[in-house]
Structure 1
């Protein structure tokens, strides 16, 4: 493997483009609000592409093919649920956050329950986001190591510095627009890899696909009613639906960019874009992994996350390794920049401003957020290096880690939205019980990790509600920050129920989003037909 001059030119041009864009946008940022939320004039499609690029990181570019190399297209079941997820998130979560004008979505928890709930939820976000960002750093470091031979620690530091520079300069505005640029590079690179695999197959593609079908690797719908299997259609459409609701509805990194949209309609449209785009994107990444299995005839790899890198190096296609490196860097830097910005925002708004410096001016909080951005970038370097000890798909490893925490998020927001009698004291008991039960299930049973969110969330809700009744009794009225409380408030104050064609009241599902259900049905039918048509 040799990284040629053309490859270096592609990567250097990509990096310079990001830095220049960050510098230009950074000159427009003068307030903490602009740093956290953007200008307020960003078009919805740019925010939508930013949402897509942020979640589809290097973990997807390297980890999804590695996962499919091991499990075939069945792994795609984990990502079939986005239409359901987006309908619920745009109907319940976004209206609460957007209409309240908050910078941190965890401020909702304080308004609904109290400051301890806010601190707990924000802390869970910071821990889980730190771990996932570290995994993304590691995945990208693999690319640099593969290309240049430098050590993982050195690669981690280099990548962190590159992403940190433009994020610190431009805040959310730089995050969104560099994400748009990076999304083009990311998906363009994936399509080129797919084409190169088709062209480079040692035998005719038709024969390869027929062989893969015989092996069962083109079957994306596993109807086995077995909770110990992670990639069944049931875990994908039930367990992982709840998992992804917390990812898109209760995650500061994902929601934060929508809070700076021009209107609630634009915020919702940016998420609807993800609802439609997720399936073809993930199908692309997992199908690449399946084709790689055919190309290598299933030979084992010591580090499966390097399978696509190995292919690019061996293909002999000029510039392909450079395109792949730029695509992986694009995938990583889009997520890293969003993570740095959102973690800094949560740290300053939820903790520093709330407990340590309540009377600072805007310039002070802008500086504090930039310092916090640098601090979090430094902190995650350690865990990123430790991920080098893991084996298997880094995407699957990270999903398993995240599944320990999402139950608490689901329970806290579920009780906040729909429970009349839940109090903060009872909620905290429920959160502790939920973590305890998930720890037991994960270590003492064979139940697959996609079900952890359902189990942990149910435990948090049941124990939290029961403890609230025992500790604090019945509550006389619905909280104004529950869904029924909001609906009563809208009626009492005569608030408009629509902004254009979009609902502003939490709990009201937009007619436009219901088309996603038809789209979901079409994808399931398409996957069933795909296997039979090969």
Structure 2
């Protein structure tokens, strides 16, 4: 299958623009901190768009429509929770990390518990991020193979090299600003695909929506009280809320860019943008999949991840295949660049600087971070090739994989924030038992994966607290890195408890963030209305 000259022109302009931005932004990077978190002058909206673009990857562009093609809008329920997630993350996580001035968020674990906890958390991040980034690489390689016939392994290498070039040159500044450019391409491409589907339907869109409703494809609110069903509103608002709290609050890749914001208020506003933007973005991708089901009248596909690619080919619209290719590349590269940068940062700060080369010059650590960026780019190629054996929705596959690890993150931060008596020895016992419990649940029961975070996190916290009491006994005072400890520190030190109307104290919810709750209620009502009014 060959691209037209118009298609190739669209993709070439996209690639050249990314490389040019990386080169221009990279000229201003002089220190390791600038490479890791940026200049400290980046506007909040750019950071916010970068957060959105990073998580809305090629997995969403291909995987969400594939998932909706199979299950309708039901899977959208697990993405309803972002307003609650962002409310919790901005209140409990961001103030800890921003106030500390760290570049690696896992330094918190060392200050709260000890060096081993920090290493464990950072290692979990590197493993889980490597697996998820590999899936993103595969998704993008699938596009190139479909369009050009390039074998998936070669396509994976080509995409990796492209993302590595501008990430290695520009660091976090290049990541953020190329994310902004890529977000425009990504969401613009998705809107073009949706409009093309509506205009090219074999029958009037009103009739299509009626058929979709009759087939149950527009039902996003499932109130079934069955833990074996993965896409109920309860799994979305409870289980997946905890899952996504760890994704946005305890994930180096997501938090790292906010550490270079101008103020704590800017850091929080950048995340609030995600709280409001996530639902309409995911709705767009899932609705595309539902419309594709109407367009193809439920025709089965060998690989549902190729549905949108097949539509771009079948539509015959000039340049649509090029727009889709650029959009998927944008979705992928926004996440790849963030992953490479954050994994390199964690590797150097949490391991290399701490255990292998203490006290070296800033120039040395800058060079080491760039080398580690290249290293992780090479490593991630391996799981990407392994994903080629998957034919189901890659978004669903990745979500299931991630659910095995998030319980440990949730437990470690939950105990760190709210437990007085938990110590490192007990915590590590809890983490180990938490993994055992999740393995047992996954292999011996039919409980759906969105509940794994709650189960694993609960086991980690319960066992960790009991083991701490047995191994080290009661603690006399709250840790200064717990929520009560932080509040006590602010009251004694006289440090400002707010800046420009935004709280600097961990555990305090900003009044401006409460509008997210209203927004959540409106989205649920909107989905109910869609089903009954279509």
Instruction: Give the structure-2-normalised TM-score.
Output: 1.00
Q: What does residue 79 of structure 2 align with?
A: 79
Residue-by-residue CA offset, 1:435-463 (whole Å, 9 max, x unaligned): 00000000100000000000000000000
Residue 38 of structure 1: aligned partner: 38
Offset, 1:500: 1.0
Instruction: Give the deviation of 1:2 after TM superposition.
Output: 3.7
SS in 2 for 1:438: helix
Distance 1:2-1:205 versus aligned 2 partners, 3 A rule: farther
Alpha-carbon deviation of 1:263?
A: 0.1
In the other structure, the counterpart of 2:227 is 227
Q: d(CA) in 2 for partners of 1:301 and 1:164?
A: 33
Q: Residue 58 of structure 1 corresponds to which residue in structure 2?
A: 58
Q: Distance in 2 between matches of 1:124 and 1:8?
A: 40
Report the counterpart of residue 496 of structure 1 in structure 2: 496
> For the residues of structure 1 that align with 2:39 and 2:147, how far apart are their CA atoms?
38
Matched, 1:446 2:446: yes
Q: Report how far residue 530 of structure 1 moved.
A: 1.0
In structure 1, the residue matched to 2:381 is 381
Aligned residue in 2 for 1:142: 142
Q: In angstroms, what is the RMSD of aligned CA positions?
A: 0.5
> 2:359 corresponds to which residue?
359
Q: Does 1:416 align with 2:416?
A: yes
Q: Deviations over 1:71-121 (max 9, x none)?
A: 100110010000000000000000000000000000000000000000000
- Provide the C-alpha distance between the structure 1 equivalents of 2:302 and 2:388, rounded to a whole number of angstroms: 12
Other-structure match for 1:293: 293
The aligned residue for residue 22 of structure 2 is 22
Which residue in 2 is equivalent to 1:435? 435
Look up the SS of the partner of 2:41 in the other structure. Answer: coil
Question: 2:126 is matched with which residue?
Answer: 126
- In structure 1, distance between residues paired with 2:530 and 2:379: 45
Structure 1 match to 2:214: 214
Does residue 268 of structure 2 align to residue 268 of structure 1?
yes
**Do 1:163 and 1:336's aligned partners in 2 also have CA atoms closer than 8 Å?**
yes
What SS does structure 2 have at the residue aligned with 1:221? Answer: coil
Q: Distance in 2 between matches of 1:216 and 1:380?
A: 39
Structure 1: unaligned runs, 5 residues or longer: none
CA distance in 2, matches of 1:216, 1:455: 31
Question: How far did residue 359 of structure 1 move?
Answer: 1.1
Whole-Å Cα distance in 1 between the matches of residues 486 and 384 of structure 2?
42
3-state SS, counterpart of residue 299 of structure 1: coil
User: Where does residue 69 of structure 1 map in the other structure?
Assistant: 69
Q: Which residue of 2 aligns with 1:509?
A: 509
**What is the match of residue 239 of structure 2?**
239
**In 1: Cα distance, 2:517 partner to 2:383 partner:** 39
* Aligned residue-pair number: 534
- Give the distance between the partners of 1:346 and 1:120, measured in 2 at CA: 12
Q: Distance between the aligned counterparts of 1:531 and 1:318, measured in 2?
A: 34
Which residue does 2:109 correspond to in 1?
109
How much has 1:207 moved relative to structure 2? 1.0
Matched, 1:250 2:255: no
Q: Which residue of structure 2 lines up, in the alignment, with residue 530 of structure 1?
A: 530
The alpha-carbon deviation at position 26 of structure 1 amounts to 0.4
Distance 1:225 1:289 in 2: 26
Q: Which runs of 4+ in 1 moved over 3 A?
A: none
Which residue matches 2:487?
A: 487
CA apart distance, 1:391: 2.1
C-alpha contact 1:348 1:365 (8 A) present in aligned 2: yes
Secondary structure at the counterpart of residue 18 of structure 2: helix
Aligned residue number for residue 283 of structure 2? 283
Aligned to 2:406: 406
Describe the superposition over 1:124-151 as per-residue Cα deviations: whole angstroms up to 9, x where unpaired: 0000000000000000000000011010
| Alignment correspondent of 2:172 | 172
Matches within 5 A, 1:459-474: 459-474=459-474
Whole-Å Cα distance in 1 between the matches of residues 224 and 415 of structure 2? 32
Q: 1:345 is matched with which residue? A: 345
Contact 1:153 1:385 in 2 (8 A): yes
Aligned to 2:3: 3
Offset of residue 3 of structure 1:
1.3
- Name the CA distance, whole Å, in 1 between partners of 2:207 and 2:500: 53
1:256-301 per-position Cα deviation (integer Å, ceiling 9, x unaligned) = 0000000000000000000000010000000000000111111111
Distance 2:105 2:154 in 1: 35
1:307-346 mapped onto 2 (5 Å cutoff): 307-346=307-346
CA distance in 2, matches of 1:350, 1:451: 30
Q: Is the 8 A contact 1:2 1:313 kept in 2?
A: no
Find the aligned partners of 2:523 and 2:113 in 1 and give their Cα distance: 40
Cα distance in 1 for partners of 2:35, 2:337 equals 12
Paired with 2:192 and 2:362, the residues of 1 have a C-alpha distance of: 46
